[in-house]
Amino acid sequence: MGFLVAAACGLVGNYLILRRMALVGDAISHSVLPGMAIAFLLTGSRGSVAMFLGALAAGVVTTVIIETIHKRTRVKQDSAIGIAFTSLFALGVVLINIFAAKVDLDQECVLYGEIAFIPLEPIVSVAGFPLGPPTVLRMAVVAAVTVSLVLVFYKELLVSSFDSGLAVSLGINATLVHYALMSWLSVVVVSAFESVGAILVIAMLILPGATASLLACRLPLVHGLAVIHAALSSVLGMHLATWLNCSVAGAMVVAATGLFTLAWVFGPERGLSRRWLRTTANEPESGAPPAAASR
């Protein structure tokens, strides 16, 4: 489960990093909450279809709000993001508290699920029988669709991420790609929601991609490394969580951060230690042994 979440998030996250929209992921992961709350209020069920649609709508609404504030006023994009997601999140919390407290909308899951008290249970039970719970199956489907989407639309995503002008001249609708990416991001976020919680989703979105982009320059390689990073961090995170007796999602992110730090310090090309080694090697008087650098 953890791996599926991390892999799906990591793949989408790569593009967010490339587009310098890492924090839009953060925003969307917060603002799906009112969408889910409203979907629940309208349908009265916790069916995943309604929740999905609500979250999807909320994600698109967030993107639209950010764009509107950013374009129509002189407020900058960062402030626009901050305003949009905090407002929607607050709205969601209030909605849940007013309307859904008495009925069986799983407040724990939506609200406290994000503080990661609950996530322990689904993941632990998953470890017993890997194909059992519907959430895992859903996440598997989402992850599979993410992989195939990236494979099919690789060129479009690649071009529009690096050079939207070129994309338009090639006949690719950059706006459409943008909104499609955002919508799919909301889908991924909402399906990851239950297991990692809204705030840790952003770690899953950013960390694999950031780590991978420290290690490689080519996008396919970055994708591959991101998936490997996701796998490693979920396995390590599980062990860490059982060892420290703390939240699994939190531990997974801690593990992912650890991997990032490793890549940062010991990266083959641009790592800190390699850099330090280069600078010391260039200085004529220093005879620092290489062993000291890799300690």
Partner 1 sequence: MRASPHASLLIAAFLLLCAATAHASRIGDLADSPIWAQALRFFTFQDPSVRYALIGSMLLGVSCGLLGGFIVVRKMALMGDALSHAVLPGVALGFLWNMSKDPVAIFVGATLAGLLGTVLVGVIQQTTRLKEDTALGMVLASFFAVGICAVTMIQRLPTGNKSGIDKFLFGQAAAIGANDVTLMAVVTALAIGTVWVLYKEFLVTSFDPAFARVCGFPVKWLHHALMLLLAFAVVIALQAVGVVLVSAMLITPAAAAYLLTDRLHRMLLLAAAFGLGAGATGCFFSFLGNNLPTGPCMVLGATAVFALAFLFGPRHGVFAKWWRRRSQSGRVGRENTLKALYHVLESRDFKGEGVSLRELAERRHMTVEASSREVQALRRNQLATLTEDGNMVHLTPEGWTRACVIVRNHRLWELYLTNEAHIASDHVHEDAEKIEHVLGEETVLQLERRLESPTKDPHGRPIPSLADLRRGAAVDRRDELVGYGRRI
- Angle (CA) 109 59 105, round 5°: 25
Distances, alpha carbon 15 to alpha carbons 5, 87, 112, in Å: 16, 26, 29
| Pick 25 or 35: Cβ nearer partner 1 | 25
Binding of partner 1 at residue 200 (CB under 8 A)? yes
Binding of partner 1 at residue 6 (CB under 8 A)? no
Binding of partner 1 at residue 199 (CB under 8 A)? yes
Nearest distance in Å: CB 206, partner 1: 4
Question: Quick one: which of 63, 61, 54 has its CA closest to 35?
Answer: 54
Point out which span in 23-31, 124-132, 138-146, 285-293 binds partner 1 (CB under 8 A): 23-31
| Pick 33 or 53: Cβ nearer partner 1 | 33
Which residues have CB under 8 Å from 257's CB, separation 6+?
Answer: 203, 207
Site for partner 1 in 32-91 (CB under 8 A): 69, 72-76, 78-83, 86-87, 89-91
Nearest distance in Å: CB 199, partner 1: 5
Separation CA 134–CA 59 (nearest Å): 23
Binding of partner 1 at residue 101 (CB under 8 A)? yes
In the structure encoding, which two tokens stand for residue 213, read together?
A: 């982009």
Q: What torsion, rounded to 10 degrees, do the Cα atoms 33, 36, 41, 46 define?
A: -130
Distances, alpha carbon 201 to alpha carbons 132, 141, 238, in Å: 23, 18, 16
Distances, alpha carbon 292 to alpha carbons 277, 285, 289, in Å: 9, 16, 6
Select from 43, 48, 107, 257 the one that contacts partner 1 (CB under 8 A). 257
Which residues have CB under 8 Å from 49's CB, separation 6+?
Answer: none
| Pick 11 or 172: Cβ nearer partner 1 | 11
Binding of partner 1 at residue 12 (CB under 8 A)? no
Question: Quick one: which of 270, 269, 276 has its CA closest to 295?
Answer: 276
Separation CA 222–CA 209 (nearest Å): 7
Site for partner 1 in 123-142 (CB under 8 A): none
Nearest distance in Å: CB 49, partner 1: 27
Select from 110, 139, 256, 293 the one that contacts partner 1 (CB under 8 A). 256
| Pick 55 or 172: Cβ nearer partner 1 | 55
Nearest distance in Å: CB 34, partner 1: 11
Q: Which residues bind partner 1 (CB under 8 A)?
A: 17, 20-23, 25-26, 30, 69, 72-76, 78-83, 86-87, 89-91, 93-94, 97-98, 101, 115-117, 197, 199-200, 202-203, 205-207, 209-210, 213-214, 244-247, 249-254, 256-257, 260, 264, 270, 272, 275
